[in-house]
Amino acid sequence: MLELKNINKAFGQRQILNNFSMTVPDQQIVSIVGPSGAGKTTLLRCIAGLEKPDSGTFLLDGQSFDPSADRGRERKIGVVFQDFNLFPNLSVLDNITLAPKMVNNQTDKQAAKQVADLVESLSLGQVAKQYPYQLSGGQKQRVAIARALAMQPTILCYDEPTSALDPTLRDTVGELILELKQRGITQIVVTHDQQFAEQIADQLVTVKPLDA
């Protein structure tokens, strides 16, 4: 279970997150909704350790941790960002393989087996040797999800996973998120698509802009 307690974050004089708290139970899908500029991406960046909150507590299974410092725990939390951040100079396979090999100290054989499984379950077989610029938006997203899953996170976060997708692909991503839930992964989905959020989520959390 992931708990956020009284998270505060300001940029300069502007308070973005004001005593934000939420609880994400294991294996649930929590959707974070709210208007543009409310602080949804900022919240994800704080959870991922890319932004440091001014104050507040993060607890994973009851133990407090600092996402920006505690790399061991932070790796249990994966994030798929809106622009995917794929390595442009690496093939799909290498994008997925790089981090687990470097960070998780997997052998080549272990990494290859895991990547083969991910490539298959995310239907990336046909594009495995291609480079990011040769992929469609939906394919890039699946590579980004495969890359995050290769780190074996217990919690996976997404920033606007449907924003670049047509309605059919939107449903495909929804199905994938529900399938990952069945596989035991806890997920946090930031979206401004209220309907999508209601379709997939066990819990909706609204982030409100403070100065609107």
Ligand X SMILES: Nc1ncnc2c1ncn2[C@@H]1O[C@H](COP(=O)(O)OP(=O)(O)OP(=O)(O)O)[C@@H](O)[C@H]1O
3-state secondary structure of 193: coil
Which of Mg ion, ligand X, none does 49 bind, CB closer than 5 to 8 A by kind?
Answer: none
CB of 83 to ligand X, least distance (A): 11
CB of 35 to ligand X, least distance (A): 7
From the list 184, 181, 176, the residue with the least C-alpha distance to 202 is 181
Of 24 and 46, which CB lies nearer to ligand X in the complex structure?
46
Rounded Cα distance between 61 and 43, Å, is 19
CA distance readout (Å), 169 to 53, 60, 92: 34, 32, 19
Asked if 31 is part of the footprint of Mg ion (rule: CB under 5 A), the reply reads no
Which of ligand X, Mg ion, none does 192 bind, CB closer than 5 to 8 A by kind?
Answer: ligand X
| Amino acid type, 151 | M
Q: Are 133 and 86 in contact (CB under 8 A)?
A: no
Beta bridge partners of 112: none
CB of 49 to ligand X, least distance (A): 15
Of 16 and 185, which CB lies nearer to Mg ion in the complex structure?
16
Asked if 95 is part of the footprint of Mg ion (rule: CB under 5 A), the reply reads no
CB of 191 to Mg ion, least distance (A): 10
Interhelix angle 108-121/137-149, rounded to 10 degrees, is: 140
Which region among 33-41, 46-54, 99-107, 161-169 touches Mg ion (by CB under 5 A)?
Answer: 33-41
Q: What strands lie across the sheet with 29-33, from one edge to the other?
A: 77-80, 155-159, 186-190, 29-33, 203-206
Q: Are 109 and 190 in contact (CB under 8 A)?
A: no
Of 31 and 97, which CB lies nearer to ligand X in the complex structure?
31
Of 40 and 147, which CB lies nearer to Mg ion in the complex structure?
40
Asked if 41 is part of the footprint of Mg ion (rule: CB under 5 A), the reply reads yes
Of 95 and 160, which CB lies nearer to ligand X in the complex structure?
160
Q: Are 39 and 197 in contact (CB under 8 A)?
A: no
Which of Mg ion, ligand X, none does 78 bind, CB closer than 5 to 8 A by kind?
Answer: none
Chain residues binding ligand X by CB under 6 A are 11, 16, 34, 36-42, 192
Footprint of Mg ion on this chain (CB under 5 A)? 40-41
